[in-house]
Structures are given as structure tokens and as C-alpha cells.
Amino acid sequence: MSNPLIEAKTLCRDFKLPRTAISGSRPVRHAVADLDLKIEVGDRLGVVGESGSGKTTLAKLLLNLDKPTSGSITFKGQKLSLSDMAIFRREVQIIFQDPRSSLDPRMTVEQIILEPLECLDFQQNHQSRIEQVLQQVELDPTIWLRYPHELSGGQRQRVAIARALATQPSVLIADEPVSALDVLVREEILQLLSGLIESLNLTLVLISHDLSVISRLCEKVVVMRDGRIIESGTTQDVFRTPQHQFTQHLIASVPRLPTIK
């Protein structure tokens, strides 16, 4: 059998918290604890869980932006060495929640998208690649010379998606990509993401507290609590017949529109 694309084994990430007045020692937060996860090529995997359950910490570990306290992550069966890092970064890209803070305010749209192409030594012509990705995210080319503050929230998130797609990644990790957007823009960006994931055949890890976003984009889901995966399966099975009491609570707490009489 072939290796999973990304595999985490007994992954742990502890954070030492500030010393407390009472004990004098530094308490430890187990943000990710003994977590095993396999991501196969073409998976569309949702990660759900309450605030503080370790979702963003897990994303950073999967992206090699943070180091595990113990346990391992492999990419295509290999532990990553520094020399593989540029290839890994071209292949695995991230979209963050808030494009206002994830885009450098001193850079134009062109410079923002150019940066990963230059840093990661992307081989095609950079200008034509910028044109292509701006088209893919349906942004008008006249936007090239604008700065993030001159864009709407939706346009900014499109630029963030364009930057993530610039190096032609095969994996996209999206941490709450639409939760900073208002309802109508959220719908537009979701449709765009969904179309791009299909057309570019991307493997997706999508973190969202919004279960409807997960059920639209993901076939599989894992539920996190206190740094651990407490339930996993197809999105349909987990959302229709949740086994764990916490997942049942999570699903029951989804707000529904009141019936209008």
C-alpha cells in the first residue's frame, strides 16, 4: 500500500504557561496530545472542535510552521529535512482566517503573490503566473497595484487564496477561511474555494467551527477535543449519527433560523 500524503503519529505539542503564584511551577497546556492522523491524496478533511481544542496548533504542525514536542509528521512517507522544505512549501499551502492580518499591508497585490514564487524558486514565468492565479480567483487584473487596505474583505481573501495557489500546491490547509467574512461574501468565497478544489484536484484540510461549511466541502471529518481526536469518519456518518457525546452537543448547538410565521 502506498504511503499517506501526510501522516501524523502520536503527535504532541505542549505549551508551557506562565508560572502561577500558587504552585510556583509552570503549568503545561497539552494543545495537541497523542494525535494520529492520515491524510490521503485527494482527501477533503474537515477539522472541527470547540475553541482551544488544538485545531490551529495541529494545522501549524502539519505545515511544519511549528515543531511537535514529540511524535512525528511525514510527507509522502518521509520525515522532512531542511533540504526538502522548499518543495514541501510549494506543495502544501495555507489560507488563514483573517486576510487583514495575513497580508502584508506594505505590499501591493502583485508583490504579495510574487513573494512565494520568488522565495520558493517557482520555475515558470512569474508575471504570467500572477495573471493566471488572479484569473482563477476571479479578480480583475487592475487590482495588481493596490494595497490590502484598498480592497474589500472578500477581495482580500481572494488575494490570500491567489497567493496560496501561486506555487501550484497539491494540498491546501485552510484555517477558518470564511469566518471573518460577512454572510454574502462568505458564500462567494465558499463557492470559489469549492470550485478551485474540484478543478485543481486539491487535497484539503479545512478547519472550521461552522459545520455547514465542513459538510459542503469535506467528505471526511475529525472532531477534536482537548488536543485529541475523539471521533472521525465520513462527514455524513459523523454529522448524522455522532457517536461521541461531545460531537452530539456540537451538532445540537448549531444555530437554526427561527421559523417565520
Ligand X SMILES: Nc1ncnc2c1ncn2[C@@H]1O[C@H](COP(=O)(O)OP(=O)(O)OP(=O)(O)O)[C@@H](O)[C@H]1O
Residue 51 binds ligand X, judged by CB under 6 A:
yes
CB of 160 to ligand X, least distance (A): 17
CB of 226 to ligand X, least distance (A): 9
- In the set 54, 116, 177, 242, which binds ligand X (CB under 6 A)? 54
Cα distance between residue 147 and residue 86, in whole Å: 27
Choose one: 53-61, 139-147, 192-200, 239-247; the region binding ligand X (CB under 6 A).
Answer: 53-61
The answer to whether 222 touches 37, Cβ cutoff 8 Å, is: yes
Residue 250 binds ligand X, judged by CB under 6 A:
no
Residue 253 binds ligand X, judged by CB under 6 A:
no
Q: What does 49 interact with, of ligand X, Mg ion, none (CB < 5 to 8 A by kind)?
A: ligand X
The answer to whether 41 touches 5, Cβ cutoff 8 Å, is: yes
Cell numbers given for 240:
448524522
Interface of this chain with Mg ion, residues 20 to 79, rule: CB under 5 A: 56
Q: With CB under 6 A as the rule, give the number of residues binding ligand X.
A: 12
* Per-residue CA distances from 49 to 70, 173, 256 (Å): 22, 16, 19
Cell numbers given for 183:
454572510
Cα distance between residue 111 and residue 107, in whole Å: 6
Interface of this chain with ligand X, residues 11 to 40, rule: CB under 6 A: 15, 29, 31
CB of 51 to ligand X, least distance (A): 3
Of the pair 168, 179, the CB lying nearest Mg ion is at: 179
Interface of this chain with ligand X, residues 193 to 212, rule: CB under 6 A: 209
Q: What does 71 interact with, of Mg ion, ligand X, none (CB < 5 to 8 A by kind)?
A: none
Residue 49 binds ligand X, judged by CB under 6 A:
yes
Q: What does 31 interact with, of Mg ion, ligand X, none (CB < 5 to 8 A by kind)?
A: ligand X
Pairing of strands 70-75, 6-16: antiparallel
Q: What does 90 interact with, of Mg ion, ligand X, none (CB < 5 to 8 A by kind)?
A: none
Of the pair 63, 139, the CB lying nearest ligand X is at: 63
Q: Residue 225: which of 34, 60, 45 has the closest Cα?
A: 34
DSSP summary character for residue 84:
G
The helix or strand, by DSSP H or E, that contains position 70, with its residue range, turns out to be: strand 70-75
Helix, strand and coil in the chain, % to nearest 5: 40, 25, 35
**Residues with Cβ < 8 Å from 130, sequence gap 6 or more?**
110, 113, 114, 117, 144, 162, 166
Cα distance between residue 223 and residue 250, in whole Å: 9
The residues with which 74 forms a beta bridge, in sequence order, are 7, 79
Residue 56 binds ligand X, judged by CB under 6 A:
yes
Binding site residues, Mg ion, CB under 5 A = 56
Binding site residues, ligand X, CB under 6 A = 15, 29, 31, 49, 51-57, 209
